[in-house]
Amino acid sequence: MTKQKSFTYKFDYNSDQFNFFVNETNFYAFNALIKNNSKFSFLYGPNKSGKSYLSELWLKKNHAVQLANNYSLFLNNRYNILIDDFLSFDEEKVFHLVNNCILNDISILITSNKKINEIQFEYFDLSSRLKTFSNLEILNPNDEMLITILTKLLVDRQFIINSNDIFEYILKRVERSYQGINDIVNKLDILSLEKKRQLTIPLIKEIL
């Protein structure tokens, strides 16, 4: 039987704080960044844990500019700065930006998948500066967060859920992480399109 071709899509979401699910895994980070206006912040957490989404909320709230290929833009301007995925940038440039923010009282948010003490810094002074920041963590997902993420991802991909047993079946067998939930939904989406079938436990068994 010829399979239907499937294509990889990127889904765009409106970065609205009411769409950001808050519970004990991210409550402190959310409050510090969105409710309490933490000025110098370092946000870390697992991959797919919502760091970029939360950072986008912070960026809009603070009228900030995200660092990309625009380093020189920040040297002579007082823009609040978002540095998303810190490890993908040159440390020396980040060091100068951090110093500039501290000296001029400019808000800055830096995100990473790693805690500061897990990073091998080339610039010790940068490590020292970042340790003075508000260090905010998104914890590994608990049961409430896992079911919420799984539900949202399945709904976003327009799966029809005919039984709550599907959620229980997936959560008992999938890697219990943000990345694990995203990976299984992506695989189910592709398989469902290829076989032109709705989401059922027999379909899930083909993957898990």
The two three-digit tokens of residue 124, written as one number: 């010790």
Q: For residue range 76-85, what is the model confidence (pLDDT) as tens digits?
A: 889 999 999 9
Q: Please say if the pLDDT value at position 43 is more than 80.
A: yes
Q: What is the mean pLDDT of residues 161-167?
A: 85
- Looking at domain 21-137, does it have CATH number 3.90.400.10? no
Residue 155, C-beta contacts closer than 8 angstroms, at least 6 positions apart: none
In 3D space, the residue among 136, 132, 121, 108 whose CA is nearest the CA of residue 50 turns out to be 136
Pick 109 or 193 by higher pLDDT.
109
- Read out DSSP for 4-68? PP-----------GGGS--STTTHHHHIIIIIS--SEEEEE--TTSSHHHHHHHHHHHTT-EE-S
In 3D space, the residue among 164, 175, 161 whose CA is nearest the CA of residue 207 turns out to be 175
pLDDT-based confidence at residue 150 (cuts at 50, 70, 90): very high
Q: Please say if the pLDDT value at position 187 is more than 60.
A: yes
Q: Look-up: residue for tokens 């039987």?
A: 1
Q: Please say if the pLDDT value at position 112 is more than 90.
A: yes
Buried b (16+ CB within 10 A) or exposed e, 58-79: bbeebebeebeeeeeebeeeeb
The predicted pLDDT at position 54 comes to 95
Considering only the C-alpha atoms of the chain, give the largest distance between any 2 of them, rounded to a whole number of Å.
66
50 by Cβ neighbours in 10 Å (0-12 / 13-18 / 19+) ranks as buried
Min mean pLDDT across 7-11, 52-56, 127-131, 164-168 is at: 7-11
Residues 36, 106: Cα–Cα separation, whole Å: 16
The predicted pLDDT at position 17 comes to 58
Q: Using a pLDDT cut of 70, give the percent of the chain over it.
A: 91
Is residue 86 helix, strand or coil?
Answer: helix
Q: What is the mean pLDDT of residues 124-150?
A: 95
The predicted pLDDT at position 4 comes to 41
pLDDT-based confidence at residue 16 (cuts at 50, 70, 90): low
Q: Look-up: residue for tokens 């919502």?
A: 50
The predicted pLDDT at position 5 comes to 39
Residues of the chain with CATH 1.10.8: 143-205
Pick 144 or 18 by higher pLDDT.
144
Residues of the chain with CATH 3.40.50.300: 21-137
Backbone phi and psi for residue 22, each to the nearest 5 degrees, phi listed first: -110, 125
Bridge partners, residue 65, by sequence: 81
Q: Look-up: residue for tokens 């991959």?
A: 47
The predicted pLDDT at position 71 comes to 94
Class of domain 143-205: mainly alpha
The predicted pLDDT at position 18 comes to 57
